[in-house]
């Protein structure tokens, strides 16, 4: 069983606004399970790249995959460390001053060395984990990937271990001398809402919405 606490190193220790930091594994998992996009930072031949990617959480590992034709994705498996950031935006904070204009958010930063998932069986489990993350229950509804399809992808796992959580939930924080200014201040909440499912135009008649879609929600 992994520790309830994440591993803290200098790379992930929050230096500024330390009161917003959290190093509990459950806190990180809750954010990861709600999110759909991770930004993956890597360096290739000295050039830094940040790639937005779909991901999946499978226990205490993060799963990423993409086409094996991608030089950037292939570099994820060459033993170099990467940094993964996942952010959920909860509100736009409009303070009376420009200086205190901000956002409420929840975020996770993970650093680690990806492990290349080589075998077809490992890739199949990774594919299922990613599909389940995107839409719980969908892996059992959709056709499984064939061996030929799995040979076309690069899949890696990154341990969810050396990581930190940071969240801002303060709303408006203004200077005392600014409270009397005739300027509106407040919070604009940000919520992710999913619309009604739209069937593919070539869907056969009589196929009902599956449980993974009706309704579609995030944890």
CATH of the domain at 133: 2.30.110.10
Contact 2, 60 (CB under 8 A): yes
Residue 188 inside a domain? The answer is: no
Q: How many residues does the chain have?
A: 219
Residue 67 inside a domain? The answer is: yes
Measured at the CA of 41, the angle between CA 35 and CA 42, to 5 degrees, comes to 145
For the record, the structure tokens of 212 come out as 């993974």
Please state the domain count of the chain.
Answer: 1
Residue 1 inside a domain? The answer is: no
CA atoms 173, 174, 179, 185: torsion sign: negative
How many other CB atoms are found less than 10 A from the CB of residue 79?
10
Q: How far is CA 56 from CA 33, 72, 125, 207, in A?
A: 8, 19, 11, 27
- Maximum CA extent, the chain: 67
Q: What is the pLDDT of residue 201?
A: 96
Q: Which one, of 51, 200, 56, lies nearest residue 128 by Cα?
A: 56
| Distance between first and last Cα of the chain | 23
Residue 60 inside a domain? The answer is: yes
Residue 12 inside a domain? The answer is: no
Residue position matching structure tokens 């993970």: 110
How many other CB atoms are found less than 10 A from the CB of residue 208?
7
Residue position matching structure tokens 């309704």: 215
Please report, in tens digits, the pLDDT of each residue of the chain (219 residues total): 667 999 999 998 898 888 889 999 999 999 999 999 999 999 888 889 899 999 999 999 999 988 877 776 777 777 789 999 999 999 999 999 999 999 999 999 999 999 999 889 999 999 999 999 999 999 999 999 999 999 999 899 999 999 999 999 999 999 999 999 999 999 999 999 999 999 999 999 999 999 999 899 998
Contact 25, 4 (CB under 8 A): yes
Quote the domain boundaries for residue 42.
18-170
Residue 144 inside a domain? The answer is: yes
Q: What is the pLDDT of residue 1?
A: 61
What are φ and ψ of residue 119, in 5° steps?
-75, 160
Q: What is the pLDDT of residue 181?
A: 97
The whole-angstrom separation of Cα 72 and Cα 66 is 10
Residue 94 inside a domain? The answer is: yes
Q: What is the pLDDT of residue 16?
A: 87
The whole-angstrom separation of Cα 183 and Cα 95 is 9
Reduce the secondary structure of 48-92 to three states and give it as a string: EEEEEEECEEECCEEEEEEECCCHHHHHHHCCCCEEEEEEEEEEE
CA atoms 126, 215, 90, 5: torsion sign: negative
Q: What is the pLDDT of residue 219?
A: 84
Residue 2 inside a domain? The answer is: no
């Amino acid at each position: 069983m992994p520790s309830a606490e994440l591993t803290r190193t200098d790379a992930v220790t929050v230096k500024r606004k330390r009161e917003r930091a959290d190093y509990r594994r459950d806190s990180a998992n809750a954010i990861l399970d709600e999110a759909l996009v991770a930004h993956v930072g890597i360096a290739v031949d000295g050039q830094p790249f940040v790639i937005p990617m779909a991901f999946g959480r499978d226990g205490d590992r993060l799963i990423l995959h993409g086409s094996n034709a991608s030089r950037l994705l292939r570099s994820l498996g060459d033993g170099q460390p990467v940094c993964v950031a996942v952010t959920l935006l909860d509100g736009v904070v409009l303070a009376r001053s420009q200086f205190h204009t901000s956002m409420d958010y929840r975020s996770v930063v993970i650093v680690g060395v990806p492990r290349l998932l080589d075998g077809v069986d490992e890739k199949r489990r990774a594919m299922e984990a990613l599909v389940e993350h995107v839409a719980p229950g969908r892996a059992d509804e959709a056709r499984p990937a064939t061996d030929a399809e799995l040979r076309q992808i690069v899949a890696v796992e990154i341990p969810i271990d050396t990581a930190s959580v940071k969240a801002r939930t303060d709303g408006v924080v203004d200077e005392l001398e600014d409270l009397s200014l005739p300027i509106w201040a407040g919070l604009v909440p940000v919520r992710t809402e999913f619309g009604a499912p739209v069937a593919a135009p070539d869907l056969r008649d009589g196929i009902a919405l599956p449980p993974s879609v009706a309704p579609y929600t995030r944890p």
